Structure 1
């Protein structure tokens, strides 16, 4: 019999990007697996988690907390009280930091260690938080879950973590949310973005240095500069602190169009990703690379880098580039000039994406919970 698990969904950060898809996908899959779970969440999210996991006990945590210090204070004081109230036997903290005084076995998810390996690719304040939280979690948690073997290897190398206390649980992709879109979905999303039939290369993610967006912009400009009617580049996702993005966009020729629609609703993502000529994600470092997997599931040809975890996700079903602008330009041009290659990658990506399910991820998490209790 699996232990009763308290999942701390109140830890979702304000940008609610890939992490919310991880927590949502995991909670729904744990419910489907018949796990005994309680979910503590911010009050505004209670209805959503009730729908995702009808059998789970939904505990209303704090109201929306955008201040990290207040959230961490609540994690140390309020969360242990709720865990005891729910009769939990293990606590899962899905975002680096853990409650230290719960008196219960604790499992933590460490999504990446790039704040150690690539500190200049992060905002200094955020990097300091991630380093401190990761050190504490690795020292005190009973089990550490990571989303890739590459992240496990780096955690062992950088922090001398005990590999016998680390569990690899790949993320999944929800085929009801991410799938090859119907033509009308592509037209609707393209019209909403303002493309109105113009072909485009897509990027989805935060505009932060480790995502390598300035080199993507520059490389894209070089790849399409010879075309009389070049496709657009659409940078979808939340703003971040990479000031070089604006400079790269300003350096493009006038006929090269860059569109920045900000966050897109979940319902628009299949049309956006699946309607792109190429989805480009030339990140310098990733703990997993969920947008790459989601683009593959939507039938998009994907261009990414052969760095960190990304080959574990993409395998032979994506195209690879070095992260510099010239390499990106050559790889993009080759894909744009070869519809056959794009179609081959699209089909291979869909097939490979089916190997990554939330059911498999939930099974790996349940094993980690059991090990935490037994340990």
Structure 2
């Protein structure tokens, strides 16, 4: 069986969603390898640039740290030589074009969209390299059937083999909720709405802001229910307003949150609002459902595929539709129905299952 090498360059980047997926999948594979009989186990290593080794030792996977630092040149030129003879596994959207055989995971096709908000140089780089990486890969992985169709529609992937490895979400249950989070922000459980803020156009934050402005205006006129306070994770007011977005005057800004704070916010929210126009997978709705938080989302991207009927779907351009679903969740019976449906749906997305799928595919390729 051919040796397997993981591309560890992702460890040099910021800890975003792609970083989390790459790191967790490798750790799941490591655990599964450790449980295998030694004689059946392939030789597996992770090659990392200088300065970014794995923070914790793996049980089986060897970490080989190069003496050259991370760069595009390292990935395209040096990594192929370091991984020569191995099946090279690239889980973070980028891979060396001139290495065979390899497996490449492309998480989505956002870089092909005019509203992706990526810098021009980065967008053009992805548009040039991604089709070359995909077509030179023995196997392409992605995170949803929507992403597979989107990548094909934009011509990124050709007629080669493509397999889906869904994200897991159960990491959110592995931490204890931070009980200081809600008091620090002046929040009462069940009395606020939650949203991930973003200046990226496709994240579509403004429809939620408009909905809550409508609710506030109706309440001042003596109509409707008092609007719930909105809690925004991520960017602050100044950053959002600089991008032409207008959060409600009473919005609370949670800033960047670790998983413990995030779990506390999910558990205390009336609902998670997720208005994005396109997502390759859509991890926050699944995390929220595991924390018994109902989800209102735009029926766009992979969200209908991932959430099914367990989330309420609202038109991404209609603020009134968002208000109607928020009002529906004020009914305890409706909210409980959505909580139960969300739990049942979200429990299918586990990192153990994703790791098992990935290892089975890699073993088949290496054989």
Q: Normalised by the size of structure 2, how large is the TM-score? A: 0.84
Q: Which residue of 2 aligns with 1:92?
A: 89
Q: Which residue of 2 aligns with 1:307?
A: 300
Is residue 48 of structure 1 aligned with residue 55 of structure 2? yes
The one of 229, 245, 248 equivalent to 1:232 is: 229
Is residue 141 of structure 1 aligned with residue 148 of structure 2? no
Q: Aligned equivalents of 2:364 and 2:180: distance in 1?
A: 47
Deviations, residues 75-119 of structure 1 (Å, cap 9, x unaligned): 1233234324xxx621111122211334x3111111111322x32
The answer on whether the counterparts of 1:181 and 1:275 sit within 8 Å (CA) in structure 2 is no
The answer on whether the counterparts of 1:286 and 1:310 sit within 8 Å (CA) in structure 2 is yes
C-alpha displacement of 1:264: 0.7
Q: Aligned equivalents of 1:220 and 1:45: distance in 2?
A: 44
C-alpha displacement of 1:181: 8.6
Q: Aligned equivalents of 2:329 and 2:215: distance in 1?
A: 9
Is residue 123 of structure 1 aligned with residue 122 of structure 2? no
Q: Which residue of 2 aligns with 1:10?
A: 9
Alignment partner of 2:141: what SS? strand
**Cα 1:264/1:114, change in 2 over 3 Å:** same
Q: Which residue of 2 aligns with 1:261?
A: 254
The answer on whether the counterparts of 2:3 and 2:87 sit within 8 Å (CA) in structure 1 is yes
Is residue 191 of structure 1 aligned with residue 183 of structure 2? yes
Structure with higher Rg: it is 2
Alignment partner of 2:300: what SS? coil
C-alpha displacement of 1:60: 2.8
Q: Which residue of 2 aligns with 1:68?
A: none
Q: Aligned equivalents of 1:214 and 1:61: distance in 2?
A: 45
**Cα 1:224/1:169, change in 2 over 3 Å:** farther
The answer on whether the counterparts of 1:302 and 1:318 sit within 8 Å (CA) in structure 2 is yes
**Cα 1:334/1:24, change in 2 over 3 Å:** same
Is residue 209 of structure 1 aligned with residue 201 of structure 2? yes
Q: Aligned equivalents of 1:29 and 1:307: distance in 2?
A: 30
Alignment partner of 2:26: what SS? helix
Q: Aligned equivalents of 1:260 and 1:313: distance in 2?
A: 28
Deviations, residues 138-161 of structure 1 (Å, cap 9, x unaligned): 221221101111111222222173
**Cα 1:361/1:286, change in 2 over 3 Å:** same
Is residue 286 of structure 1 aligned with residue 279 of structure 2? yes
Is residue 112 of structure 1 aligned with residue 79 of structure 2? no
Q: Which residue of 2 aligns with 1:38?
A: 45
Q: Normalised by the size of structure 1, how large is the TM-score? A: 0.82
Q: Which residue of 1 aligns with 2:172?
A: 178
Q: Which residue of 2 aligns with 1:82?
A: 82
Q: Aligned equivalents of 1:12 and 1:46: distance in 2?
A: 7
**Cα 1:6/1:335, change in 2 over 3 Å:** farther
Structure 1 alignment gaps of length 5 or more: 66-70
The answer on whether the counterparts of 1:234 and 1:259 sit within 8 Å (CA) in structure 2 is yes
The answer on whether the counterparts of 1:211 and 1:285 sit within 8 Å (CA) in structure 2 is yes
Alignment partner of 2:252: what SS? strand
The answer on whether the counterparts of 2:299 and 2:315 sit within 8 Å (CA) in structure 1 is yes
